[in-house]
Amino acid sequence: MPLYKYECLKCGNKFEELIAADRADEPQKCPECGEENSRRLLSIFAALTGNASSSGYNTGGCGGGFT
């Protein structure tokens, strides 16, 4: 199951939940105040791919792959 980030619309607490993808847009219960009024936040991720740089990784751009 994917890990999603949420923000409680009552108290502003930000939290993460393991939720099935088909339920990800449903409001989740806030672990701080118990309110079931939250919104899913946009999350970003980083992927490391190999290249000829000194570090051995390409940390930006598109279409990179292991070399």
Q: What is the DSSP string of 35-53?
A: ---EEEPP------EE-SS
Residue written as token pair 């949420």: 6
pLDDT tens string 30-57: 999 999 999 999 877 777 777 655 555 5
**Cα–Cα dist 9/65, whole Å:** 40
Residue written as token pair 């992927």: 47
- The confidence score (pLDDT) of residue 34 equals 97
- The confidence score (pLDDT) of residue 47 equals 75
- pTM for the full predicted model: 0.63
